[in-house]
């Protein structure tokens, strides 16, 4: 991925406020993102909302990189209607890391964090209702992790609850 440095008044302000808690400011195809240390994500989200007009949490997602020490990229996407600008905040996590919930900053984080938990198994510290949201409660595993075989995805549940073979 060929990225370019992202420099602006906003990045200067964030550098001043957060120092080395933000390790990178980059742009890819006009999409701006920053990479933050895990403990900095929530304060950065709060600052972007309170001080810079990024008041809409669009999404929280993750990417699983099983061969890396930090196996997950946790990605927050925020938007400013006033600026018509979107920013992605990426945090690298190790297996078992429990990032702080963003629910106190953005209520929309409630369901978004539950989806990340359901699909990747990342649990958010302090979340008010950390349980599955898409998959059945009895489902084994987290389907968007790369070690999960799409062909063998909880065939027992499918047979027991739907009475059919998976069909994969």
Q: State the CATH number of the domain containing residue 49.
A: 3.30.460.80
Where do the H-state alpha helices sit in the chain?
9-18, 41-52, 109-120, 155-162
Structure tokens at 90: 């990426």
Domain check: are 88 and 29 in the same one?
Answer: yes
Instruction: Write out the chain's pLDDT in tens, 168 residues.
Output: 789 999 999 999 999 999 999 999 999 999 999 999 999 999 999 999 999 999 999 999 999 999 999 999 999 999 999 999 999 999 999 999 999 999 999 999 999 999 999 999 999 999 999 999 999 998 888 999 998 776 666 677 777 877 777 665
> How many C-beta atoms surround the C-beta of residue 10 within 10 A?
21
Predicted pLDDT of residue 131:
97
- Residue range of the domain that includes 63: 4-133
pTM: 0.91
What are the C-alpha distances in Å from 101 to residues 21, 45, 144?
A: 18, 11, 20
Domain check: are 60 and 129 in the same one?
Answer: yes
Domain check: are 94 and 142 in the same one?
Answer: no
Domain check: are 94 and 49 in the same one?
Answer: yes
Domain check: are 98 and 146 in the same one?
Answer: no
């Amino acid at each position: 991925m060929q990225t370019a440095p992202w420099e602006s008044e906003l990045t200067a302000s964030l550098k001043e406020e957060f120092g080395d808690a933000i390790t990178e400011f980059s742009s890819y195809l006009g999409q701006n993102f920053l990479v933050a240390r895990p403990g900095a994500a929530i304060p950065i989200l709060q600052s972007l909302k309170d001080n810079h007009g990024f008041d809409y949490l669009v999404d929280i997602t993750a990417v699983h990189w099983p061969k890396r020490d930090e196996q997950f990229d946790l990605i927050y996407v925020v938007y400013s209607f006033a600026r018509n600008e979107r920013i992605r905040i990426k945090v690298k996590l190790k297996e078992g890391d429990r990032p702080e919930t963003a629910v106190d900053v953005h209520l929309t984080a409630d369901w978004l964090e539950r989806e990340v938990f359901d699909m990747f198994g990342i649990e958010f510290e302090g979340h008010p209702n950390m349980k599955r949201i898409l998959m059945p409660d009895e489902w084994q595993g987290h389907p968007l992790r790369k070690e999960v075989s799409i062909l063998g995805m909880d065939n027992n549940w499918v047979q027991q609850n739907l009475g059919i073979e998976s069909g994969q």
